[in-house]
Structure 1
Amino acid sequence: MSYDDTIADFSRRLVDVDGVTKTVYVAGPGPAVVLMPEMPGISPDVLRLARWVRDAGFTVFVPSLFGVDGAYPTAEEGEQIVRRACVSAEFRAFAGGGTSPVTAWLRGLARQAHAECGGPGVGAVGLCFTGNFALTMALEPSVIAPVVNHPSLPLDEPAGLEIGDDDARAVQERVARDGLTVLAYRFDNDRWCTGRRFAAYQKLLGDAFDGRVLPGDAANTAPPPFFRDVVGTPHSVVTAHLVDRAGHPTLEARDEILAFLTGRLRPSEAGRP
């Protein structure tokens, strides 16, 4: 898709959490799922995934965290957005930075979404730059279905995790106490989300970490320019590098994510054809 998305089939809200207001795009009925954007923003591919979540029977909340909402990911503009995010006080892009402060706002969004939509809890789906945010959001009790897709932070430490020590211990305790499973995806030759990073998640979470690895040669070979020229490696399993073809490994990953969300947020319907 080489065009911008108008996002016309979503409602646009201004959501306040503790005095900080951000734009959030909302669509669908059912339990809430917070779907966070990947670099360089809420792209047409991110919105395609959001619509799949919506059509699976969830109310999807897509917060605007960086970039131009709906814009097709070009290389030059995408690089500028990455640079701005890396120096923003909201994010901790590099090793030693700890937990990104924006995750506190995202946990507040999850609380509001749960109060509005009901159900047993909220799903949280992170992508790339926001990948690990889905894990940190599990510090919010309403978040019961975290999905960590190709987490890229910290950018300068392939074996690192974007989370402070205290938060890491708190997440460990929450996962063990409530029996949560953390679903995660990466390509085997992704230089931004390496096997060493998945090993760090495994060490932190043990058997609660369900890390799934796809072959890099399954990735879409014609992604948008930002992913072709800047990312430069198979990376975005269920967005820019997804191949929308029946039986394809990336489409099967999408279906697994939707089944994971259904099993936790609408358990009575899990397994239905």
Structure 2
Amino acid sequence: MDDFVRRTVSIDDVEKTVYVSGAGPAVILMPEMPGISPDVVRFARWIRAAGCAIYLPSLFGVDGAYPLAEARETVVRRACVSAEFRAFAGGGTSPVVRWLRGLARLAHAECGGPGVGAVGLCFTGNFALTMALEPAVIAPVVNHPSLPLDDPGGLEISDEDATAVAERVARDGLQVLAYRFEKDSWCTGQRFAAYRALLGDAFDGRVLDAETANPDPPPFFRDVVGCAHSVVTAHLVDQDGHPTLQARDEILAFLTERLRTRPE
């Protein structure tokens, strides 16, 4: 990650490491479980090449490492009991989202432009939506959101925040782009239906055939996740015309159109 600047960012007296790179309007890319893997970094570089400044916060795991199956015990269980996250039904909005909204305000102040993009992945998938309570966030992308872990049709959001998000989306004409694989047991069709019920036509949920997923992902995704899940990272196939690469291009187009960027 030598092409990123490692910064310590303090928001509301809470410090976190954030990797920053590129120029243009800002995009906050949140890592998937179990951390900032090389596949997440690759996706960050693609966003940067599309003409965006990338802000990649470290929220859990080992930065820059390929995720091993052992991360289930060392990272996942720790995150599930952390006060920053609400991994299970009934917990409401994860407190870490407040910090992420502050990061979006900071990034917008530093980079300018019409607003900020927010891209969530897996464990952080829904964070991109709840970050939209920050006015600077105008391009939310919700990728294969896995929380709450114990309710396949649930959304990781409090009732109050859900109402506020739906009002903001309707008032400002926001669109929410989302992806999942068919047969994904961590992000089900029931969950996408719940998003649609909350947001109506503003929710653009797209589903890829599970058979198109990378058949040889890193060990954590093979042994722990156990199904086609990570559309633009671990299960992406980097081949022209491939459905997962098309999904990546659609996300980049969504971000650049709303943030009005120019690719490198």
Task: Report TM bin, short chain.
Answer: over 0.9
Which residue of 164, 172, 191 maps to 1:178?
Answer: 172
Cα deviation code 1:75-95 (max 9, x no counterpart): 013442000000000000000
1:240 is aligned to 234
Following superposition, the deviation at residue 117 of structure 1 comes to 0.1
1:169 is aligned to 163
1:60 aligns with 2:54: yes
CA distance in 1, matches of 2:73, 2:246: 30
Which shifted more, 69-78 or 85-94?
Answer: 69-78
* Alignment RMSD: 0.9
1:104 aligns with 2:68: no
2:2 is aligned to 8
Which residue of 70, 76, 79 maps to 1:76?
Answer: 70
CA distance in 2, matches of 1:78, 1:107: 28
Consecutive unaligned residues of structure 1, counting only runs of 5 or more, are: 1-6
CA distance in 1, matches of 2:111, 2:152: 37
CA distance in 1, matches of 2:71, 2:167: 40
- Aligned pair count? 263
1:212 is aligned to 206
Which shifted more, 193-202 or 68-77?
Answer: 68-77
Identity in percent: 78
1:193 is aligned to 187
1:266 is aligned to 260
1:222 is aligned to 216
CA distance in 2, matches of 1:64, 1:111: 17
2:243 is aligned to 249
TM-score w.r.t. structure 2 length? Answer: 0.98
Following superposition, the deviation at residue 48 of structure 1 comes to 0.3
Cα deviation code 1:159-179 (max 9, x no counterpart): 000000000000001000000
CA distance in 2, matches of 1:23, 1:81: 17
Which residue of 65, 86, 93 maps to 1:92?
Answer: 86
Counterpart code for 1:217: E
2:117 is aligned to 123
Greater RCO (CA < 8 Å, at least 6 residues apart): 2
Which residue of 135, 140, 165 maps to 1:141?
Answer: 135
Counterpart code for 1:74: L
Counterpart code for 1:35: L
